[in-house]
Amino acid sequence: MTAPAPSPQFAAAYRDFMVGALENESATTAKVLAQVRAGDWRPDPKSRTAMELAWHIPSSELWFLRGIAAAKFEGGESQAAAPATPEAILKFYQDEFPKALAGIKTLTGEQLVQIVDFYGMKFPLYVYLNFCLVHSVHHRGQLSTYLRAMGGKVPDIYGGSADEPWQG
């Protein structure tokens, strides 16, 4: 038995839901990025540095959103050199995220239900919105565990922290 194909109306409603989720999560990501300290700090030699993670999050998120808007995934995350400072990474993210998300908002339901190849996986285009979101949240979680150890403060992410108690 095969599942029925999603309708364009479903895909458009899902897009609208995910746009809201992505906007909400981008604000939290910006709070985490704002606490990153410059340097080569990493918890283990096998780990990425905080600066590498801080760049990976926005560069891969924007690559995903742009790939979804174009209905094709080419290359990898941004091939541009990472900005030199955490502040420059944060500014880049705050400047570029709204532009990339605007491309998602223009997609029609018909476009969103088309099957698109992602390195051998073949799903309707709208499915990749969730993949983009969970990928970013995953790496943001990694980065947030670095913050206090590297001298930053851990922001309220999903309900407060010792540095930023939940305000209810």
Question: What is the b/e burial string over 73-85, where b = at least 16 CB atoms within 10 angstroms of the residue's CB?
Answer: beeeebeeebbee
For residue 14 the two structure tokens come to 């899902």
- pTM metric for this prediction: 0.92
The pLDDT tens digits of the residues spanning 17-33 come to 999 999 999 999 999 99
- C-alpha distances out from residue 102 to 20, 37, 97, Å: 12, 30, 9
For the segment 74-100, the average pLDDT, to the nearest whole number, is: 89
The pLDDT tens digits of the residues spanning 46-71 come to 999 999 999 999 999 999 999 999 99
Least confident of 79-88, 101-110, 152-161: 79-88
Q: What pLDDT score was predicted for residue 7?
A: 95
Return the domain boundaries, the chain. Answer: 11-150
Answer CATH for 11-150 from 3.30.2020.30, 3.40.50.300, 2.60.40.10, 1.20.120.450? 1.20.120.450
Averaged pLDDT score across all residues of the chain: 94
Instruction: Please say if the pLDDT value at position 148 is more than 80.
Output: yes
Where does residue 115 fall: left (phi above 0), alpha (psi -120 to 50 degrees), or beta otherwise?
beta
> Beta-carbon neighbour count of residue 95 at 10 Å?
10
